[in-house]
Amino acid sequence: MYEKENILMILEGTKEAINEKDVMKIRELSNRTLHSASLYQDKTSIAVAVIVYSLSKIIERTDYREYSSWKGFIKEITRHIGHLISFLKQNKDKKFEEDLERVRIIVSKISGNFRRDVQEVFEKARINKASRIYEHGISMEQTAKILGISLFELAEYAGKTGIADVNLNLTMPVRERIKIAEEMFST
């Protein structure tokens, strides 16, 4: 089960940040959903994280604003985020889930090169968020399954970022630990 209050706050912040064209705020909001997604391993938190992160990547690309579908895309996305907020506030979970899927479908309605570019952003965002969830300690197989990507895609991305190389068993050398303990207990 996802944290409704957290997702509501993220969606409200995202809608505001889109209107302000504040890419950093949108990306930061996306990162907040990772904790919930890692903890609950639910598709809703992950879908919100992917959508919000994708929007940050799309909005930061000023050249996308040259596409004829840009204004309509932003208007439609903002409208649906408003619906999502409303459905959450009214505890209409089924409607929320349906509209969350519609946000992803909006991409297929865009025309030409803009659609291709936006689809690519969404796909890369899914892999990026998968790698971040994997980094939080969820198995690679479970993470790939939750996000609907292949193990190969996740492993390839994690290998490029060095996530898999992090040694979580590294500790401070014994001599340093003893020295710190002696300092703590000496008067």
The domain total for the chain is: 1
> Confidence class of residue 89 from pLDDT cuts 50, 70 and 90?
very high
User: What pLDDT score does 37 carry?
Assistant: 65
Q: What average pLDDT is seen over the chain?
A: 78
pLDDT in tens, 95-132: 998 988 888 777 666 767 777 777 777 777 777 776 77
Cα 149 to chain centroid, rounded? 15
* Average pLDDT of the residues in 152-180: 63
Domain region containing 166: 4-185
User: What pLDDT score does 146 carry?
Assistant: 65
Q: Look at residues 123, 102, 100 and name the one whose alpha carbon lies nearest to residue 43.
A: 100
Which own/partner contact pairs does 77-83 have at CB distance under 8 Å and 24+ positions apart?
A: 77/18, 77/103, 77/106, 78/15, 78/18, 78/19, 80/106, 81/11, 81/14, 81/15, 81/18, 82/15
Greater model confidence, 182 or 72: 72
